[in-house]
Structure formats: C-alpha cells, structure tokens
Chains A and B, each alone.
Chain A
C-alpha cells in the first residue's frame, strides 16, 4: 500500500511524516526535476505501507513545478492523508475539496490542533467529518497528539460523495463549511503575534533581520569551527594519520599507486590538504573541512525554517535582490556561502526558476569567499594592513553586484514576482529539528563524498600525465601580462583552479607586493573556491549551465584582476 501525505505548505506535514515513519527514510529527487520529496515506511497491522511526503501544494490546478509534481504523484497513491492547518481551515479546505471531488480515498488530519485554543479558534470536528464524509482526526505533530488515531484510521479512509464544482462554487462551499463548523472568539494579541507583524514592517523588520543574521552567522561559525578544532581535526590527526602513515610505508612511500591512494609525501609527511591522495585529501576535504559547516549550517537553517523566519527575510530583501535578477529568497544561499560554498549552492534549490538558481549559484561560486578562504585572505593580505583586506572584500562585493546586474540584463526571462504565504512563528520540536538535520547530513555524505573522491582521482591523473603543465604554460601570459603577477605565481594560480587553499599557501611563498597580493587573492577567490564546490556546482546546474558558469567565472576573474592591475 502507498500512502501520500498531502497538504498546503507550512502545515506541519513533515512533522506528521516523521512521527508516522520509522528509520528507513529516503529523500529523493523527483525524476527530471529539482523538486525533492521524502519517503519512508510504516506498519499498519501486519502490513508495511510506504508513505510519501508530497511537496506542499495549495491546489490541484498546478501553478508551479512543485505543484505539478504533487498532482502527478497523486496518481500513484492508494490512500491520501490530507494534512490541514486547523488554525487556517478556510484556505486549507480548498485543497481538501479538490481531493474529495477527484474521489480520492482520504483521511483528513486537522493538524496544529493544540494551536487553535490560544488563537481563539474552535472547530466542531464531528460536524466537519459529517460534511466531508471522510474521517477527520485532530492531530498535533508537536506533541504527538492524535498520531496513533491517525495511523489507526487509515484503513477506514474512504471517498466522499462531493461532486466536482467550479472554483467559485468551491470557495463558496468552503465558506459555508467554515460558517457551520468554526467559531472564533476574539482575543488580544500575544507578544508572539506582535513579533510576527514587526518582522514584516520595514523599520522593525530590518532591525530584526540584522540581528537574526548576525546571530546565525556566529552560531554557524562557532559550531563549525569547534567541530573542526575539537572533533574532526583531532580524529584525523590522532587516529587516521598513523594508520595512513603505516599504509604509506607499506606501499613503499612513493610511486604512482601510492600517490593516487595515499597522496604525495610533502617534506616527509602526509599532508591532509596538499598530499591530494584519495585516502588523505579525498577524505579530509569532505569530512573534516566541509562536513562541520554542513552540520552547523543545516542546524541553523533548519531552525530558521521551522520557526518560520525565512519567508520574512525574503520579503524584506526582495526589492534589492530583484535588481540582480534574484528573488528575496536568494539571500539565504548567498549568506551561507560565507561559511561554505557547498551547502550554499545546494541551498539554491529553494529558488523557483532555473534562471534564478543559475544566477545565485554562479554569484556564490565566484564572488562569495568561504570561511577557509577568508582565513587565508586575512592571513596573507592582512599583514600588509587592513586597507588591503578591505580592498579584497570591496572588490568581491562589487563583483557580486555588477555581475548580478549584468546577468539579470543578459539572461532571458524575468525573475518571477514574489507571492508567498508567511507562516506564523512556531516553536520547532527539537526531536524533529535533529531528525531533519540527520537526513540532510546523510544525504550530503551519500551524494558529495563519492563525487569528491572521483574528482581527486581525475585530478591526480591530470597532474601525473602532465596535462597540467601544458595548461600552466598556456595560462602564463595571462597571469603575468594581464594581472601583473610574477612568473613564479603561475603554478599557484593554475593549481588554484582546483585547489585554492594550497594555491594561497603557494602564493605566500613567492615574494609579492601588497598590490600583487590583493590581485592574487581576488583572482583566486573568484576561481572555484575548492574542489567540493566545483563538484556540487556541476551536479546542481547540469553540464551545460555548469560550463556557462565556468566561462562567466573565467571572464570575470580575468576582467576583475585586469582592472585591479590598472587601477591600483
């Protein structure tokens, strides 16, 4: 049996889903799309049923890709659990009626039931059940109330004798149902609701947004850095390194196979970043450098998501972001990029159109320096004075704005206008927050690690076969001629194409002037930040758009470096 969970966005569908399912939960992309959904299993009596958490939809007359998919998935289900927001029954019943008109075998979950009381809403559940002709269960994903009843009512799910009607008739019918089952008692606004209003008004909104963003940024960095410094880095150095060293000795300390698997021995040691073997850098980069930021980022973003803050941030910044061809929502991936570009590019999935995703991902990968790149910039450029660090950041910010503006002008299509529902603030259940965090991390490990390993392998082959030297010779005139960098930095820049951290380190070895250092840092940041981002960008954009994005990256790095060389 296949059970579908359907309902409007932000009705707590995913919380019900995780309450109903066990451990075998998988998140997958709907074939041929970027819309993802989760599926799991639950026991009903002696049978096991598959449950699918269908993307949120307001209507069965699709207005977006996610809604088209929801409609398409409807065909495959045996039973649908229609999750309804009891605090907003009127809008939610529209979809319920559409489902009933289609003769879908249905159970209705009146979710967020515990919220109705302090919002002064009272619903006659029995009466609603009689009108709709299908079981109606009061549930609360937060407390778990009614979940058991829900599971038990699935066998009694049934179809209704409600017949198809026009849109206007349907809204009129919804109105009639509401009049007969719902009574609302007026009560004073709680401080929670005052805060809801404050965050969508310009003056207070900007202040709240600045505070939320600053706090998020510090939490992400704090959690990420501590995971690296006190958990993952020590693990790699005290446990993995000795094992790897033994393997290195066993493999003879050098040679083709050794260098591919363990990595090059650098001044007598295995170096987790520079050795670049499958078992050294291939594991260290994704697990000890990227994973900690994935964990901290998804923890914070998951919290902001479940609290209901993100849509408020989006409307606040919508006007500004539209100038560079993006929706207000694109601010989220952009900010994330300051921690790590990998989750930032993955987060562009929340954007509606392909065009927006392309602009946002390209801008992040080119103009947003990740935390480790920023550490390098401070270390290398900082010694010449804060003025030069400001130059690097200023240039990158200008590149972000100007490039976004240009992309918005030349790419076909318009960014769609904003139309979003702003959910009320809710206190997220911790269990659910961590469960979601776990799925996302699991997903990252499954998706990103194998590809990073493959890329490390390919790059090793490029190095060993000498293709790299050929590229270096080819690039030399650009680097010395246009950017005004010395001959010895050629190798560093070319390596920076894939291994930025190492490249910045190599730049430090050659004696550069302050001006050259600024240009070097800007140019290196604008090239692919690291191999992991490179891979994720390819995966998220597809080959064609990835190549386009790379071309834009090359042109803008070339231009920005050239202009700096002339201006400074």
Chain B
C-alpha cells in the first residue's frame, strides 16, 4: 500500500518511494539519509499534527508533520 509517512501507524514499517516538495526539502532529508529506497519504521507521532518520529538507518529522526506528509512510503 502506498501512503504518506504521516498516515503510517505506530510501529509500521515501509520503504520510501518518493519525496514530494521542493529541492530544499530533498536536500535537508538527503543529508540525514532519508532518501527513496530506504526502509523506515514509524515510532510514533505527537497529537494535533505534531512531529512524526521514525527509525531510519540506525537513527531516530523527528520530522515535522508537513514534511512527513510529503514523504511517500510503500508498506507491505
């Protein structure tokens, strides 16, 4: 199933297939190793469209809700 990172459930895993949005966002995410093809697991999110926390590579990254909506992942 294809959905945005923001719509993932807690502890659900997926593979990034696309990053929508501008070059600036892609640059920032790229430097943290958040690029298409990477697997990630959502750890949780804060209420009221708060930041989404994901486990990617071996690090934990918090991503603002707006950004998380632009990261498209494929789940099994």
Contact = CB atoms under 8 A, between A and B. Distances in A.
Interface of A: 58-59, 61, 63, 87-91, 94, 167-168, 171, 196-197, 200-202, 205, 311, 314-316, 318-319, 328, 417-424
A31 to B, nearest CB: 25
Contacts of B51: 315, 318-319, 328, 418
B48 A319 contact: yes
A90 B43 contact: no
B61 A319 contact: no
Interface in B42-69: 43-51, 53, 57-67
B58 A94 contact: no
Question: Ordered nearest first, which 10 A-B pairs have the shortest CB separation?
Answer: A417-B64, A59-B31, A58-B31, A319-B50, A422-B60, A315-B62, A201-B44, A418-B64, A91-B33, A88-B58
A422 B24 CA distance: 21
27 contacts: A58-B31, A59-B27, A59-B30, A63-B31, A88-B59, A90-B57, A90-B58, A91-B32, A91-B57, A200-B43, A201-B43, A201-B44, A202-B44, A311-B62, A315-B53, A316-B50, A318-B51, A318-B62, A328-B51, A417-B64, A417-B66, A417-B67, A418-B51, A418-B63, A419-B29, A422-B62, A423-B60
B63 to A, nearest CB: 6
A196 B49 contact: no
Nearest to A327: B64
Given A63-B28, A90-B33, A94-B31, A424 B60 contact: yes
B20 to A, nearest CB: 14
B32 A419 contact: yes
B17 to A, nearest CB: 15
Contacts of B59: 88, 91, 421-422
B53 A422 contact: yes
Contacts of B24: 63
Count class of interface residues, chain B: 20 to 34
Nearest to B60: A422
Tell which of A167, A205, A315 has the most Cβ of chain B within 10 Å.
A315
Given A91-B58, A171-B35, A318 B50 contact: yes
A113 to B, nearest CB: 15
Nearest to B64: A417
Contacts of B47: 202, 319
Contacts of B45: 202
A422 B32 CA distance: 12
Contacts of B28: 63, 419
Given A419-B63, A419-B64, A319 B58 contact: no
B33 A167 contact: no
B23 to A, nearest CB: 11
| Residue of B62, B65, B67 contacting most chain A CB atoms (<10 Å) | B62
Nearest to B55: A197
A171 B26 CA distance: 14
A197 to B, nearest CB: 6
A366 B25 CA distance: 35
A57 to B, nearest CB: 8
Contact of A63 (B10, B27, B58, B65): B27
A186 to B, nearest CB: 13
Given A319-B49, A419-B64, A420-B61, 20 more contacts: A59-B27, A61-B27, A63-B27, A88-B59, A90-B57, A167-B30, A168-B35, A171-B35, A200-B43, A200-B53, A201-B44, A311-B62, A316-B46, A318-B50, A319-B46, A319-B47, A418-B62, A418-B63, A419-B28, A420-B62
